[in-house]
Amino acid sequence: MTAAPDWHRSRSTYLAGRSELDGVDNLAAEMEAKWGVGRLRLLVPAEWREKFDRQRYLLNQAIWHGDLEDVRQQSARMASAWRKLDALAVEAGASKLDPDAVWEVALDDGTVAAIVPSVAHTGSVRAEGRAVAIYTLEEISRLLTLSRATVEAKLVFPGATVVGAPRDLRDPLDTMADTQQPLDAPLYDDDLDDVLPRMMEAG
């Protein structure tokens, strides 16, 4: 069993760390609503995409293996990284999502569902290298009609949510077994048998 990170050592440190992370999570959600799921990092030059991914790695490392100061420091840097990519995308004139025309959500298989009010709004979807499937509200109504158990459960238990497996966006960080090692540690080491199949899958 993996030991809990140091910032979990007390209720106080956990709440402090969680507060920092909640701020970053909220910012990430804002950026996904503005640009699309997993899209913003694809709108910037490769050098900035690499810096962004390195910072995400360091934040994950702090979350899983760090102390409270690590979480605070890397959360602040992650927020700055999100804002930098946002500024670069704006500067480049990249198109934002129209919240009245399309909503996006990541599915368990790593693809993205783009939900639009009608067929007339499909032109607002921006795939740009991502695996995106478009669903109109009418199509969703048909899918729900075919899934009566889900609909009935929602009616019987107001507030109930549908819970799925953790999502996989074929993220570059998913090819790494964990974030315990420093960024410059070899990728192919004792975890080769585990990492390589996942890298092939992601490709």
Over residues 64-104, the pLDDT tens digits come to: 999 999 999 999 999 999 999 999 999 999 988 777 788 88
- Predicted model pTM: 0.64
- Regarding whether 152 and 87 lie in a shared domain, the answer is no
Tell which of 63, 80, 96 closes a domain.
96
What is the rounded CA–CA span in Å between residue 139 and residue 136? 5
Domain count within the chain? 3
My answer on whether 177 and 118 are in the same domain is: no
Q: In what helix (H) or strand (E) does residue 16 lie, and over which residues does it extend? A: helix 11-35
Residues 72 and 110 in one domain: no
Encode pLDDT of 161-198 as tens digits. 655 544 443 566 665 667 777 877 765 555 444 544 44
Residue 153 has pLDDT above 80, yes or no: no
Question: Comparing C-alpha atoms, which of 132, 138, 133, 104 is closest to residue 119?
Answer: 138
CA distance 193 to 191: 6
**pLDDT value for 193:** 47
- Secondary structure (3-state) at 81: helix
CB 77 within 8 A of CB 145: no
Residues 24 and 80 in one domain: yes
The counts of H helices and E strands in the chain are 6, 3
For the segment 50-61, what is each residue's pLDDT rounded down to a tens digit? 999 999 999 999
Q: Left (φ > 0), alpha (ψ -120 to 50) or beta: where does 161 sit?
A: beta
Q: Does the residue 164 lie in any domain?
A: no
Place of tokens 């959600």: 29
Range of the domain at 108: 103-156
